[in-house]
Amino acid sequence: MKLGDKCRDIISGWEGTATGRYEYLNGCVRWEISAADKDGKPEGFVFDEQQIMVVTEMTGRVASTPPTGGPRSNRPVSR
């Protein structure tokens, strides 16, 4: 499974797009599945990885965003 895939929670039936992946120190992996509600507002829920199935794999790339944080360079500081 990867970000952008269409997924379904096999317990609740919630279906949407995988928009977030959370990995915890104890090894637990959870995914946020988002979709529009009946009024068109985005809504998402987080589920354990084991209870999610991929409905349709994403066929493109997820757009990357440029780094933020101002005009700081990534050069190492000399000491």
The 10s digit of each residue's pLDDT in 4-49 is: 999 999 999 999 999 999 999 999 999 999 998 888 888 999 999 9
Who has greater pLDDT, 64 or 32?
32
pLDDT reported for residue 3: 92
Question: What confidence tier does 66 reach under pLDDT thresholds 50, 70, 90?
Answer: low
Question: Distances from the Cα of 12 to the Cαs of 45, 51, 67, in angstroms?
Answer: 11, 9, 36
pLDDT reported for residue 20: 94
pLDDT reported for residue 40: 85
* Distance, CA of 4 to CA of 8 (rounded, Å): 13
